[in-house]
Amino acid sequence: MAGGDRVTIYEVAERARVSISTVSNVLNKPDRVSAATRKRVLAAADELGFVPKVQAVSLARRGTGRIGVMAPFTSYGSYLRRLSGLLTAAAELELDVVVFDHESAALASSPVLASMPIHGRLDGLIVMGLPIEDAIAERLQERSLPTVAVDADSSRFSRVVIDDHAGGRLAAEHLRDRGHRRVGYLLERQVSDYESQAIKRLSGFEQVIVAAGGEVVVATSDNSVAAARRAAAALLDANDRPSAVMAHHDALAVGVLLAARDRGMRVPQDVAVMGFDDGEAATAADLTTVRQPFEESGNAALSVLLGHIDGSDLRSTTVLDVRLAERSTT
């Protein structure tokens, strides 16, 4: 018996006299299987004492059990957190994970996968934070490589995302409700004009502030605390400086906090500061921010990918919730 004393999906299929995929459908997509077949498969499972390991049915196939994950890991710590959630789930399933680093979409002249350094046999691919251009998407589909996009748009593949418009609105509502009407927004600079997560988030933010009769003053910054500190200086030194500054992510918000401290400004009395992500930097700085479910997104992406590996061709969009993490800076 494979896996020590653990009953496998293969044994259930043999006992019920059905295929592996039928057992998988009974466990994952019961509406695809007739009532009589469901009853027979579940009876066989009960007789054998089969306990399905989380998503184990998705691995009941011939293959290497190797998943590729590509993301701008060295540009953003947030993708390491997503990877952490994925690795935790993969370890339980005894899956190998091959990690590929990629230039950030904000810095790329064309926000696409410039190359696909995929060596060896992969059963599936997860692409995080990087739009997949049509030519590469076609290549992946021609290779029949199941693919899931995380934190990125895709017209061809399943996605795991947050609603960035809603996240921007949530942040703006928090500042609006505290009386702020002239608000600075520190946006990460991007070299191309595609509608990134940053642009969507700013759009939702502006929608709320403008509807309240306010104004959003946008400044741009490269992706570092030092760059954000310099960019925030221009906002805070203006004669009509904003009463609050929202940053696209927490590291940029730390730069705003440092710029305020450089000027002897009190936070939040003189200027309120807010970020987005809720990573370690936010906790250390006691920063009000919007929490993204990073680890959960990695776990969800693996679950969706395993469904495709198991044969599902239904393209899906999984939208994870964001929530406010209110701390001292507002």
Burial of 52 (0-12, 13-18, 19+ CB in 10 A): middle
The confidence score (pLDDT) of residue 26 equals 80
Tens-digit pLDDT profile for the chain (330 aa)? Answer: 344 456 788 888 899 999 888 887 787 777 778 888 888 888 888 788 776 654 444 444 445 578 989 898 888 889 999 999 999 999 888 888 988 887 776 665 444 454 454 445 788 999 998 888 777 788 788 778 899 999 988 889 999 999 999 999 999 999 999 999 999 999 998 766 667 788 999 999 999 999 999 999 999 999 999 999 999 999 999 999 999 999 999 999 999 999 999 999 999 999 999 999 999 999 999 999 999 999 999 999 999 999 998 888 889 999 999 999 999 999
The confidence score (pLDDT) of residue 288 equals 98
The CB-side HSE value for 195 (13 A sphere, CA atoms) comes to 8
The confidence score (pLDDT) of residue 64 equals 55
154: alpha, beta or left? (left if phi > 0; alpha if psi -120 to 50): beta
pTM attached to this predicted model: 0.76
Q: Which residue in this structure is represented by tokens 């209110």?
A: 326
The confidence score (pLDDT) of residue 107 equals 61
The confidence score (pLDDT) of residue 122 equals 83
- Distance in angstroms (rounded) separating the CA atoms of residues 66 and 98: 7
Q: Which residue in this structure is represented by tokens 């690795």?
A: 87
User: In this structure, what token pair is assigned to residue 138?
Assistant: 């076609």
User: What is the distance, to the nearest Å, from the Cα of residue 214 to the centroid of all Cα atoms in its chain?
Assistant: 31
The confidence score (pLDDT) of residue 141 equals 84
pLDDT per residue as tens digits for the range 273-301: 999 999 999 999 999 999 999 999 999 99
Kindly give the residue spans of alpha helices, DSSP state H, lying in the chain: 9-16, 20-28, 35-48, 77-92, 134-142, 164-176, 197-211, 225-237, 250-262, 280-285, 294-309
Question: Are the C-beta atoms of residues 274 and 174 closer than 8 Å to each other?
Answer: yes
Residue 139 neighbours by CB distance under 10 Å: 14
286: alpha, beta or left? (left if phi > 0; alpha if psi -120 to 50): left
What domains, with CATH codes, occur in the chain? Answer: 9-52 (1.10.260.40), 164-291 (3.40.50.2300)
Under DSSP, the state recorded for 329 is: T
8-41 residues labelled b (16+ CB within 10 A) or e (exposed): bbebbbebbebebbbbbbbbbeeeebeeebbebb
Question: Are the C-beta atoms of residues 130 and 73 closer than 8 Å to each other?
Answer: no
User: What's the per-residue H, E or C state across 233-261?
Assistant: HHHHHCCCCCCEEEECCHHHHHHHHHHHH
